[in-house]
Amino acid sequence: MKKEERKKYNLEERLIDYSAQIISFAKQMEKDYISNYLYGQFVRSGLSTALNFAEGQSAESQKDYIHKMKIALKELRETRMSLRIIERTDLVQNKKPLQELLQENNELISIFVKSVSTASERLNVFKK
């Protein structure tokens, strides 16, 4: 397997790439009062996913890990809502990066939903 192929399946690297794409995309947005507000919220929630994932990697327990992954999932969903709002405005001229971010966001949401589900199932098995 080539390095690029391995990187594709490394969630930490994927989240770092996603965060970098969010920063690049946000720089394209028109700058005014409304977009600055949305821009700040969008960047915070977008970057928070990777940061909460990193915290989850050092979780003190399985419950703590699940909690961190749920926070990351909430941030992904908040970011998706921001992207959908931006999509319906004229805050960016080039919508292609927006579509790519929405696609990656949806894929990451699926990954985190499955991760939370699997971790929760494991926790319940160990409780019995």
Q: Give pLDDT tens digits for 31-66.
A: 888 889 999 999 999 999 999 999 999 999 999 999
- Count the domains in the chain: 1
Band of the pLDDT at 3, cuts 50, 70, 90? low
- Domain range spanning residue 79? 3-127
Supply the CATH number for residue 34's domain: 1.20.1440.60
In whole angstroms, give the CA distance from residue 42 to residue 24.
Answer: 12
Rounded to the nearest 10°, the torsion over CA 52, 101, 31, 81 is: -70
3-state secondary structure of 3: helix
